[in-house]
């Protein structure tokens, strides 16, 4: 859900750009993918070998149900990309932003089986808790959106001696605190906040004209271009996904086979969603979203069947 009061700096500095909201069908598809993950997470590792009736004339092990969902989503990604290819060019900004949703869903897959006590457990050695890491990821993504929105209005080149040394302090006056505001609420609240922040930034910046990608900006004090900042979204999420993985090792938390399989499904969904993430509105994008939504429904139904067999 968009909060104009919170994200006013992003909205204000992108009001001349083409907005590219996520296709509505993808919102429901995400619900279905999460429902599938919820059912699959209830399957104990010890039940992965029992028979599961995949088709009326044959059986496979329950384990294959997980891989069948993976296959179905990957097939839908191929078809969705074919549909997108029939549309107009989305522009390079979209191409730079799209990998961020793949990174986001891989992180969501890693987080999915964790409980509150694991999010808040101290790993020692002055390392962040998982909740603190998520606060930083969310706040960093929000800042990438706000800052990029401002820099793209300045029209400098990276080597321009007049390139500002930093964005103005007043731009950041209302930025939420990553240690409190961004991590407030339940685990679901925090995970949803990550989705909301990334989705809004993509909606407002994926339509950035290609000529503005070469405009100058700053990142960690270095002179870079806007394209660099957009490409940094994905790698920043990946960077802290690795950090969460390391934190779990420090906590002695070993993923089960089911945890690993569910994460594969989340990651596959992220790659598939990247086909439509930041794409311009139109029939090609809508057709691609329909294909992905159908795969999400199938994933939900297969997961329900797998869980029923495993619990039977």
Q: 8-311 is classed in which CATH architecture?
A: Up-down Bundle (1.20)
pLDDT at 1: 41
**Residue 2's pLDDT is what?**
44
Domain residue ranges in the chain:
8-311
What does the pLDDT read at residue 17?
Answer: 96
**pLDDT for position 3:** 57
- CB-based contacts of 66, cutoff 8 Å, min separation 6: 40, 258, 261, 262, 264, 265, 306
Residuewise pLDDT in 10s, the chain (312 residues): 445 568 999 999 999 999 999 999 999 999 999 999 999 999 999 999 999 998 887 789 999 999 999 999 999 999 999 999 998 889 999 999 999 999 999 999 999 999 999 999 999 999 999 999 999 999 999 999 999 999 999 999 999 999 999 999 999 999 999 999 999 999 999 999 999 999 999 999 999 999 999 999 999 999 999 999 999 999 999 999 999 999 999 999 999 999 999 999 999 999 999 999 999 999 999 999 999 999 999 999 999 999 999 998
pLDDT of the residue at 294: 98
Instruction: Give CB contacts under 8 A, 24+ apart, made by 257-262.
Output: 257/45, 257/48, 258/40, 258/41, 258/43, 258/44, 258/45, 258/48, 258/66, 259/41, 259/112, 259/113, 261/40, 261/63, 261/66, 261/67, 262/37, 262/40, 262/41, 262/66, 262/109, 262/112, 262/113
* pLDDT value of residue 55: 83
């Amino acid at each position: 859900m968009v909060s104009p009061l919170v994200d006013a700096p992003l909205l204000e500095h992108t009001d001349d750009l083409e907005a590219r909201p996520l296709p509505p069908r993808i919102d429901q598809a995400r619900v279905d993918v999460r429902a599938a993950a919820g059912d699959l997470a209830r399957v104990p590792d010890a039940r992965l070998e029992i028979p599961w009736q995949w088709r009326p004339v044959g059986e496979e092990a329950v384990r294959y149900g997980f891989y069948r969902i993976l296959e179905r989503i990957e097939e839908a990604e191929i078809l969705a990309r074919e549909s997108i290819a029939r549309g107009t060019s989305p522009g390079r900004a979209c191409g730079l932003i799209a990998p961020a949703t793949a990174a986001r869903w891989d992180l969501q897959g890693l987080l999915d089986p964790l409980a509150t006590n694991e999010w808040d457990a101290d790993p020692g050695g002055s390392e962040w808790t998982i909740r603190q890491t998520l606060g930083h990821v969310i706040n960093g993504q929000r800042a990438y959106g706000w800052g990029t929105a401002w820099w793209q209005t300045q029209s400098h080149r990276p080597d321009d001696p007049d390139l500002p040394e930093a964005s103005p302090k007043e731009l950041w006056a209302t930025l939420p605190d990553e240690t409190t505001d961004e991590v407030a609420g339940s685990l679901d609240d925090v995970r949803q906040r990550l989705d909301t922040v990334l989705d809004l930034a993509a909606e407002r910046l994926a339509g950035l004209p290609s000529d503005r990608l070469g405009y100058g900006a700053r990142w960690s004090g270095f002179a870079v271009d806007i394209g660099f900042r957009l490409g940094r979204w994905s790698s920043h999420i990946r960077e802290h996904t690795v950090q969460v993985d390391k934190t779990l090792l420090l906590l002695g938390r070993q993923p089960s086979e089911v945890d690993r399989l569910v994460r594969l499904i989340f990651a596959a969904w992220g790659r598939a969603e990247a086909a439509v993430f930041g794409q311009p509105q139109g029939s090609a994008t809508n057709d691609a979203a329909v294909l992905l939504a159908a795969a999400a429904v199938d994933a939900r139904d297969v997961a329900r069947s797998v869980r029923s067999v495993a619990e039977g």
